[in-house]
């Protein structure tokens, strides 16, 4: 039997609970939409789960990119301030 790797409910923050509820709602809506057009139960569940995993991966990638852009912005601004200071201090 596979071990459940999801965090225990006691460790979830309010934001995590909101996100989990939102994902569950979206999965249910997608599942119901797929069922309404005649897709088999198991296939609809598989597609819904796969899409959910893709969305989670995309969200984590976007979060990482935001950190990278923020770090790059800070370093760029520091260099824009530092280079003129160095050039003005030269004899």
**Is 2 inside a domain boundary?**
no
Residue 66 CB neighbours (<10 A): 10
Q: Is residue 5 part of a domain?
A: no
What is the token pair recorded at 29?
């809506």
Write the pLDDT tens digit of every residue in 53-69. Answer: 888 889 999 999 999 99
Residue span of the structural domain in which 41 resides: 13-89
Closest to 15 measured CA to CA, from 51, 63, 47:
63
Q: What average pLDDT score do residues 5-9 get?
A: 52
Q: What is the pLDDT of residues 16-62, one digit of tens each?
A: 666 566 666 668 888 888 889 998 988 888 888 888 888 888 999 99
With respect to residue 7, please indicate whether it lies within any of the assigned structural domains: no
Question: How many Cβ atoms are within 10 Å of 62's Cβ, its own excluded?
Answer: 9
How many alpha carbons lie under 13 Å from residue 58 in its C-beta half-sphere? 6
What's the pLDDT at 32? 86
Look at residue 3 and tell me if it is in a domain. no
Whether 8 is in a domain gets the answer no
* Residue 4 in domain: no
- Choose between 49 and 73: higher pLDDT: 73
Domain count, the chain: 1
Q: Is residue 1 part of a domain?
A: no
Q: 69 lies in a domain?
A: yes
What local confidence, expressed as pLDDT, does residue 91 receive?
Answer: 82
């Amino acid at each position: 039997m596979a071990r459940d790797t999801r965090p225990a409910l006691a460790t979830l923050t309010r934001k995590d609970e909101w996100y989990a509820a939102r994902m569950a709602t979206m999965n249910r809506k997608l599942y119901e939409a797929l069922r309404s057009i005649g897709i088999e139960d198991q296939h609809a569940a598989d597609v819904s789960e796969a899409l959910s995993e893709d969305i989670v991966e995309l969200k984590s990638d976007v979060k990482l990119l935001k950190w990278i852009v923020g770090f790059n912005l800070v370093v760029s601004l520091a260099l824009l301030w530092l280079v003129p200071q160095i050039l003005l201090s030269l004899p």
